[in-house]
Amino acid sequence: MKNSFTLFGLLLAVLVITACTNFVQTDSDIGTLKGTVSYRERIVLPNNARIVVSLVETNIQDNNSSKVISQHSFLAEGAQPPVEFTLQYMKSKIQPDTSYRVVATIEVDDKLLFSNQSTKALNIDPLTTTRVDIPLVKA
């Protein structure tokens, strides 16, 4: 009798673990973009400068509306351009025949200093592109 309760408990634990594995994101679904953000001006970034890098889906048919697929925000903390970044995204969110670009900004005290939004979009294929260097312009 005691063995049947143990066996039942073990079977129940296996079923729960198996059911939950569908909710756990696997490493094979995670893509990584690495690169740098830089600008030409001779301006030192303060430690509290916030750098935001986003992978954006651009829909040309819908008045160039865009949807953020992934975003990474971090403080400069002494780093100066070119500043390295790593952006992870879920490959399952990437659709074939869809345009994607990387958008980057640098802000200090909620004031936009640099951006690449007003320049030509950096078109990438997230499934094959692993590195992108983003030139920023003064806002």
Cβ neighbours around 41 below 10 Å, total: 10
pTM of the model: 0.73
| 20-32: average pLDDT | 67
Q: Tens digit of pLDDT for each residue in 70-92?
A: 999 999 999 999 999 999 999 88
Alpha carbons 131 and 109: distance in angstroms, whole number: 29
Helices (H), the chain: 2-20
> Is domain 27-138 classified as CATH 3.30.365.10?
no
